[in-house]
Copies of this chain bind each other. A is one copy, B any other.
Amino acid sequence: MSTTPAAYPATDRTVPTRSRERASYDRAAVHSVLDAGYVCHLGFLRDGRPVVLPTLYARVGEQLYVHGSTGSRPLRTAGRAGSAGLPVCLTVTHVDGLVLARSAFHHSLNYRSAVVHGDAYAVADHDERTAALDAIVDHIVPGRSGDSRRANAKELAQTAVLRLAIEEVSVKLRTGGPNDEPEDRQLPYWTGVVPVAPVYGTPVPADDLAPGIETPGYLPAG
């Protein structure tokens, strides 16, 4: 696992990224954060109050697709073809390190996050729905959609797919070491960064895996 070099200057910044202000829209940064994950936290309103649910997502170009089959009422409503857009906020966060300063106040995380605001719309088109579901599977495990049975008509009918354009989005990230106050530098506390990253273990075959099927090359080695 890569570590955060302590010599790397600490930064805590927002990449201004409204697409309406193209000059400052750092598309590569936005895509990088979105493409590194597969679980987002989707916020919407229910009876006028905020609800935040973890959901699978995928990016296809400048569109995000989320699985709407959470059983929640607003998502079911937006899931009807022709209905109005559902105001949402889709947030993706990656934690890269625990930042331990000498002072409690300067404790922090190294992280990358993307926050996308907009209205989500139900996807009715068959081809777009199929492509979105493939993309969601491929976000979880790149290459997997081509090595599994595609959804049939009955399964497609049971799945709501929402589309959200990547238009109003901000990326925030922090990297580097702690930012202690100069007067704290002599305090007798350890200070530095503990790197953290998701690690994928040895694949565990299902009990009923047919004999002779090897672990695919797109999975971590056993």
Interface residues of A (CB under 8 A from B): 1, 3-7, 39, 41-45, 48-54, 56, 87-91, 93, 95, 98, 100-105, 107, 109, 111, 113, 115, 117, 133-134, 136-137, 140-141, 144-145, 147-152, 155, 158-159, 177-178, 180, 184-210, 213-216, 219-220
Residues in chain B near residue A141, CB distance under 8 A: 98, 100, 194
Q: Report whether over half of chain A's contact residues are helix, strand or loop; otherwise say mixed.
A: mixed
Copies in the complex: 2
Q: A51-B89, A52-B41, A186-B210 are in contact. Are A100 and B201 (CB under 8 A)?
A: no
Residue of B nearest to A191 (CB): B206
Q: A103-B148, A200-B194, A213-B190 are in contact. Are A87 and B178 (CB under 8 A)?
A: no
Residues in chain B near residue A193, CB distance under 8 A: 203-204, 206
CA A34 to CA B130, docked complex, whole Å:
36
Q: A199-B196, A200-B196 are in contact. Are A104 and B148 (CB under 8 A)?
A: yes
